[in-house]
């Protein structure tokens, strides 16, 4: 039993050697074509399993399937954002309203960089570090995500993500996490981060509205192409 709802591996958007020398073509191809694809396949497998379980009305294994879905779906989303966060030979620092929000939340871009770097280097096991917009607070946070899906706030939207799984850097940087972070930071496409910030700021969870009030408000349509 399968479902008609499936995730797809999005186009990388640039050649495998586009980020060299900071990120080798061999590492980028392995990371995208093997590791990211495994997340897409895993998420689709979980959806198919859930469809099969619904068909026979047997949900005995639902705890394991829900965990698999969260792990693979989150991995797919984070990798998709990661590829678009990167740009060869960029060097443009964050500007505009994003820079103002960074200053408001962290004091300065340099202060954000220090915190982000510390979170990345100290991360235990496999995971990600994200700069995200906390929608209920209206502020930016740095979070350590364990594996692909744990240890992050429910209402946070990732804007800038760093893959700290060993598969993301070990082939080129071995144990030198600091060096991986430094090269990552120099490749950030801040225009992409700013676009995500503009979209995230529009998120309204309607936590402070009375029941039913929000039903009549205008809701921005979901845009799957924004991933």
- Is 161 a binding residue for Mn ion by CB under 5 A? The answer is no
Using CB under 5 A, which of the segments 35-43, 53-61, 171-179, 218-226 binds Mn ion?
Answer: 35-43
* Shortest Å, Cβ 79 to Mn ion: 6
Using CB under 5 A, which of the segments 53-61, 86-94, 148-156, 161-169 binds Mn ion?
Answer: 161-169
Our CB check for Mn ion shows the closer of 79 and 194 to be 79
CA distances from residue 113 to 103, 173, 216 in whole angstroms, order as listed: 12, 20, 41
- Which of 32, 163, 192, 194 lies at the binding interface for Mn ion (CB under 5 A)? 163
CA angle 127, 132, 138 (to 5 degrees): 150
**Residue 134, token pair as written in the block:** 């906390």
User: Residue 133 belongs to what H/E stretch?
Assistant: strand 127-134
- Is 23 a binding residue for Mn ion by CB under 5 A? The answer is no
Q: How far is Cα 159 from Cα 222, in angstroms, rounded to an integer?
A: 17
CA distances from residue 21 to 112, 173, 186 in whole angstroms, order as listed: 25, 12, 12
Using CB under 5 A, which of the segments 30-38, 97-105, 143-151, 174-182 binds Mn ion?
Answer: 30-38
* Shortest Å, Cβ 78 to Mn ion: 8
Q: Where on the chain is the footprint of Mn ion (CB under 5 A)?
A: 35, 163, 165, 168
């Amino acid at each position: 039993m399968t479902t008609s709802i499936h995730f797809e591996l999005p186009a990388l958007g640039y050649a495998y050697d586009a980020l060299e020398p900071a990120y080798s073509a061999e590492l980028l191809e392995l990371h995208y074509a093997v590791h990211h694809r495994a997340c897409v396949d895993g998420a689709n497998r979980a959806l198919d399993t859930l469809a099969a379980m619904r068909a026979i009305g047997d949900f005995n294994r639902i705890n394991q399937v829900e965990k698999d879905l969260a792990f693979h779906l989150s991995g797919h989303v984070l990798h998709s954002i990661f590829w678009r966060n990167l740009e060869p030979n960029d060097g443009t620092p964050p500007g505009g309203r994003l820079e103002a929000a960074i200053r408001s939340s962290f004091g300065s871009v340099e202060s954000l960089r220090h915190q982000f770097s510390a979170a990345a280097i100290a991360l235990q096991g496999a995971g990600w570090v994200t700069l995200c917009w906390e929608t209920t607070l209206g502020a930016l946070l740095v979070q350590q995500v364990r594996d692909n899906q744990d240890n992050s706030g429910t209402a946070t939207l990732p804007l800038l993500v760093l893959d700290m799984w060993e598969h993301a850097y070990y082939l080129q940087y071995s144990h030198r996490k600091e060096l991986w972070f430094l090269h990552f930071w120099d490749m950030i496409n801040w225009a992409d981060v700013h676009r995500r910030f503009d979209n995230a700021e529009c998120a309204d969870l309607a936590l402070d509205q009375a029941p039913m009030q929000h039903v009549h408000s205008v809701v921005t349509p979901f845009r799957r192409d924004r991933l």
